[in-house]
Amino acid sequence: MTERYLGGGLPNRSDADLQGRLIVLEGPDCVGRSTQIRLLQDWLERLGYGVVNTSLCRSELAEVGLRKAKRGNTIGRRTMALFYATDMADRLERVILPALESGFIVLSDRYFYTIFARYAVRGVDPVWLRKAYGFALMPHLAMYLDVDIDVLAERALKAEKLGFWECGMDLNLSDSLYDSFILYQKKMLRQFNKMLDEFDMTVVSAKGSIPTVQQRLQKRVRALLDLKETEIANGTMHGPIIEGLEE
């Protein structure tokens, strides 16, 4: 499959046919992305695929600086958006594209969609954001976990994840963590909803149990990889074989 980019792509790189697939899982804070990504990786590896996972703020070049910047909360919003762009560009060049060229499945917990939503909420021009991230590779499948704000708030309380950034406390929406979480996440959900059609994202309901949501995600991944139920049942191997798996 030929590379497609949000804009002009990475400089000094020629288009190539990628043997692997980039699958992105998006959604608001506390929706359960990390758990579902881990389950998807386990499932794909059992089928024999080589899998690489990545997420925001995991670049060797930018991770430490980004985490310090988030703790300090002193850097301007456009600058932070560019900091995240550095993180993504580094991971794309060093991790994502090499893995895809080798035929691996790359699972990404969040992608540029989250950055666009976060900083649009914070008043950064959406057109500027899209130009700044023009180097980003378009995923082969972008799934959005859809959930109501009431369910999201319940999960956040259970997981005790009403933190500074999850609640958007930098926006001064409310002195209450809970109230700020509700107001901030509603703004984020509106931004995500605007992007669903723009980027042809696949909406997957996040309601129900973890296994139920996983089954919904696997259905979309099976369609992307053209996996038949009979192949899955028979344990047919696909893609780069992971050392240690039995054939």
Instruction: Count the neighbouring beta carbons within 10 Å of the beta carbon of residue 220.
Output: 15
Contacts of 167 (CB under 8 A, 6+ apart): 177, 178, 180, 181, 184
Give the length of the chain.
247
Nearest 5°: phi and psi at 164? -55, -50
pLDDT at 1: 72
Contact (Cβ atoms closer than 8 angstroms) between residue 60 and residue 93: no
Distance CA 242, CA 187 (A): 42
* Sequential pLDDT tens for the chain (247 residues): 778 999 999 888 877 779 999 999 999 999 999 999 999 999 999 999 999 999 999 999 999 999 888 887 778 999 999 999 999 999 999 999 999 999 999 999 999 999 999 999 999 999 999 999 999 999 999 999 999 999 999 988 888 778 888 899 999 999 999 999 999 999 999 999 999 999 999 999 999 999 999 999 999 999 999 987 555 555 554 554 333 333 2
97: left (phi over 0), alpha (psi -120 to 50) or beta: alpha
pLDDT at 232: 56
Beta bridge mates, 203: 144
Question: Which tokens sit at 12?
Answer: 């000094």
What's 147-211 look like in SS3? CCHHHHHHHHHHHCCCCCCCCCHHHCCCCCHHHHHHHHHHHHHHHHHHHHHHCCCEEEECCCCHH
- pLDDT tens figures, 113-157: 999 999 999 999 999 999 999 999 999 999 999 999 999 999 888
pLDDT at 185: 95
pLDDT at 115: 97
Instruction: Count the neighbouring beta carbons within 10 Å of the beta carbon of residue 240.
Output: 17
Distance CA 96, CA 169 (A): 32
Q: Which candidate, 66, 46, 48, places its Cα nearest to that of 56?
A: 66
Nearest-10 Cα torsion for 200, 206, 207, 209:
140
Residue 108, CA distances (Å) to 60, 125, 139, 247 in order: 16, 25, 9, 27
Which three-class secondary structure state does DSSP give residue 111?
Answer: coil
Contact (Cβ atoms closer than 8 angstroms) between residue 17 and residue 72: no
* Fold of the domain spanning 21-225: Rossmann fold (3.40.50)
